[in-house]
Every structure is written in C-alpha cells, then in structure tokens.
Amino acid sequence: MLPNEINYYLILLFLLIIIPLISRERQIVFLLVSSYILYIVSNSYLVFSLVFVTVLTFYCGRLIYDKNNRKLYLVLALLGCLGQLSFFKYSGFLALQGVSIFTFLALGLSYFTFMALSYVFDIYRGKLRPTNSLIEYALFVSFFPVITSGPILRAVDFLNQIKSRIVITSKDLQLGLTLITIGLILKLLIADNLAPFVDAIFSDPTKFGSQAIILGTLAFGIQLYFDFAGYSDIAIGTAMILGFKFSMNFNNPYFAMNPSDFWRRWNISLSTFLRDYLYIPLGGNRKGTLRTYLNLIVTMVLCGLWHGATWNFLIWGGYHGCLLCLHRLLPIPNRRIFLIIIMLLTQYFVFLGWLIFRVNNLDNLIYCLRMFLVPTGLNFFYFIIGLLAVSIFILSRDKIANNDWVCFIGSMKPIYWFIYMVIAINVIYWSWPVRVTKFIYAGF
C-alpha cells in the first residue's frame, strides 16, 4: 500500500485516533501490527522475507555484542541478508541471461535489508547497544512509512525515539501534514504529469531524434526527482505526525556544485549508508590516491547494482564512480564564473547519467547516448528557451536553496496554514490521476 493510494491515509487517520489513547508498549505493538498488515496487504506471503531479515539480524546483533565470534555472526548476518537480497533481486538478471530461477521481489526488500544491516554494522563497530526487545526492533525494520522506498533509517536514530511514549503534538501534525501535502503535489502534479511524455519517448527511443531524447532525459530527471523526493517527503511527514523525526532525504540536488556535492544532496540516506558502511570500511581516502579512486568506483558500482540487476544500473554506478574520481582529479579554481560552469557541467553529467539510468536496453542506450552527446537537428527556439531556463536556474539558485519552505509553511499561523491546506488539498485532488502511477523507487 503506497502513499498515493487513499487507503494509506485512512490507516494513518485510524492510527492517529488510536495512538494517543494507549500506553507506550501498546503503541509499539499497534504500530508494528499495522506495519505488518499493510505489508501483507501489499505483498502477501513475501512477508516471510521481512520476518527472516528481522529475526536473523536481531539475534546476530545480540551475538555480535557478546564479543565471542563477532566476525562469524557478522558474516552470518551479511550472508543471510545479502544472500536473500541477491536471490530475490538478481535472479531476474539470471533469468534474462537464460537461467530461470525466481522473479518475485519482496516490496522494499533493498530498503529493509540495508536498515537491518546498518543495525548489525553499528553493533559490530561498537556504536550501538543491541535492543532487548524484538518487537521494537521489528518495528524499526518494518516501519510502514519508510519500508517501500526509504529513507533508509539508522537503528540508533529510530530506537532512541521509541524509548518514551509517542506523543502527537500539534506542531508535528502541522509540519508533518505540510510535508505530506508537498510530497503529494510533487508526485501527482509534476512527476505523474511528466510520466506519459517520458514513457512515450523511452518506450521506443529509436523513433526519436536528438531533440526528443534530450527533452525526454530532462523530463525524466525532473520526474525522478519529484517522484522520489515526493515519496520521501510523504514518508518523513507521516513519521513526523506519529512523533518520529527523520532527516530529509534530498537537499536541492540539481543545485549541486560538483559530483560529490550531488551525492551529498541526492538520496542522502542511501549515499550516507554507502559512505559509512562501504566506502569508509574499504579504506575511504586514507589509503592513497589510487585506492581512493578504486574505492569510489567499487562503492558506486554497488550503488548502481542496488537499484537493480540490469546492465544500465551497473554502467550508471560505474559512470558516477568515474565522475567522482574526475572531480577529485581536476583542480577547480575558486572563482564564481568557474563554479557556475562546473555546476552546469555537473548537471549535464548528472542528466546524462539519468539517460543511462532510464534506458535498460543496451542497443537503445547506445542510440540515445549518440543522440544526446552529438545532437543533430536542434530547434533554435528550443535552444533559446533552454538558455533562458538555465539562466533562471542559476539566478534563482541561492533564493531557492537557502529557503526552507517546508518549515516556513509548517510553522505558519493556523489561519494562514488553513488557506495553504485548502489550496493544497484542491491541487492534490484535481491533479490526482484516475489511474495511480507507481513510485519509481518503490521498484528498487
């Protein structure tokens, strides 16, 4: 059950009515049961996958903490979790190569597996004491707002927040609802309206020329951002209403000044997970220049593979690894004009990356790259429009990036916030498509 379905909000309303009336222990049980019911409704028997990961990592965490055979239990947890992830996620890839195994994917598998692994890693690194309560831990792994598309939570952040009774405050309610409405507007008004245009181009890109491929790539980059950022806002907003505080998952990624900056702003929970649990343990930048580049490329290739078992994700990951290396390799003069050029170049390369991300057929990808990199038959009018858009983009950067609109709206006086809500509800209602479009990242 996804946040663009009406039932999601009916369940949320039900939780909001019940939670303030019951004790802390019951609140946790109630949230856990609700999360599992929602998961089973969406995913049927594949709930066993969720139970398996939860139980395995919970007990491995405790055994790691006991100091005996720590590595053995860490490896056991890793093998169990990643083995299952590979089995479900990459058997489809083998099937494509002619080896048919299994093609079902448990909803949110990549997310809850990574969340569970972060718990085990943190215990192993001595940064977290394992919880004694399987129920609390199970709630962390299955928490319904984030299970389908993240953000990837850290156990330490989550478990600390359920140590005391959940209190729903009017401030959280206002801010949470603001986030949910903004998320829905991003998803329904922008992402879903771009989807038909993007799908029409990339269903058979060889029918189109450079102009359409470039516009399609731009539209897909915008669609993907608003779709995923919209989901993240809804998830964080839902959690906030229920009394949980999580960090934002996006921070204006298309205003990034360079590739490293982009990854500090895009899917922050995933990029920090990869940084903390993969890049740094591999040695990070502490073991010489060559090793740093290798670590960057390995991390980003695995990041690509996390998205799915197709060649384009692998290439996309490697491509971003190379961009990060290139950024380290090339000195950038600290003058404003150079910074602007680098920012525009960064976005050019990021969108080129989205083209690789979107086209999963290798022949089509080669064709699209040719059309994107060596454009032909471009319309002068579109060129001017593009130039104007880029100028506005540069000029508005500081204004948009430095303002926290969510906080501003979420802390308005109730009378003004009421006006915002009426407008937001109407925008959401009228732009809500008759046929629900899936969240792109719910498929990963």
Q: Does 156 bind another protein (CB under 8 A)?
A: no
Residue nearer to another protein on the CB measure, 20 or 281: 20
Smallest gap from residue 414 Cβ to another protein (A): 4
Give how far the C-alpha of residue 121 lies from the chain's centroid of Cα atoms, to the nearest Å.
21
- State the nearest-atom distance from the C-beta of 172 to another protein, in Å: 10
Q: Is 407 exposed, middle or buried (0-12, 13-18, 19+ CB in 10 A)?
A: exposed
Angle value at C-alpha 143, between 142 and 144, nearest 5 degrees: 100
Between CA 327 and CA 321, with CA 306 as vertex, the angle to 5 degrees is: 15
Query: Minimum CB separation from another protein for residue 14, in Å?
Result: 16
Which lies closer to another protein via its Cβ, residue 7 or residue 103? 7
The CB-of-180 to another protein minimum distance in angstroms stands at 12
Residues 163-222 that bind another protein (CB under 8 A): 168-171, 173-174, 177
Instruction: Write down the catalytic residue from 154, 307, 320, 327.
Output: 307
User: Residue 176 Cβ, how far from another protein at the closest point, in Å?
Assistant: 11
Span of 88-96, 162-170, 370-378, 387-395 interacting with another protein by CB under 8 A: 162-170
Tell me if 323 sits within 8 A of 317, measured CB to CB. Answer: no
Task: Annotate 153-183 with DSSP letters as a single string.
Answer: --HHHHHHHTSS-----HHHHHHHHHHHHHH
* Residue count, binding to another protein (CB under 8 A): 20
- The piece of 38-46, 72-80, 265-273, 413-421 that touches another protein (CB under 8 A) is 413-421
Q: Does the active-site annotation cover 320?
A: no
Q: Tokens at residue 267, please? A: 């899917």
Three-state DSSP class for residue 3 = coil
Rounded Cα–Cα distance for residues 195 and 216 (Å) = 10
The whole-angstrom separation of Cα 351 and Cα 318 is 15
Does the CA dihedral 271-273-276-278 come out positive or negative? negative
Tell how far CA 378 is from the center of its chain: 34
Short-list 358, 371, 367, 269, CA closest to 313: 358
The smaller minimum CB distance to another protein, of residues 366 and 422, is found at 422
Cβ closer to another protein: 311 or 420? 420
Residue 380 or 430: the one with the smaller Cβ distance to another protein is: 430
b (16+ CB within 10 A) / e for 262-293: bbebbbbbbbbbbebbbbeebeeeeeeeeebb
Please state, in angstroms and as integers, the Cα–Cα distance from residue 393 to each residue in 182, 219, 334, 399, 423, following that order.
Answer: 21, 15, 20, 10, 26
C-alpha 364, offset from chain centre: 26
Shortest spacing between CB 434 and another protein, in angstroms = 6
Site for another protein in 417-436 (CB under 8 A): 417-418, 421-422, 425-426, 429-430, 432, 434
Q: How far is the CB of 21 from another protein (least distance, A)?
A: 12
Nearer to another protein, 408 or 429 (CB): 429
Site string for another protein, 16-45 (x = CB under 8 A): ----x-------------------------
| H or E stretch covering 249 | none
**Toward another protein, which CB reaches closer, 175 or 365?**
175
Give me the residues that bind another protein (CB under 8 A), please. 20, 168-171, 173-174, 177, 414-415, 417-418, 421-422, 425-426, 429-430, 432, 434
Which residues does the annotation mark as catalytic? Answer: 307
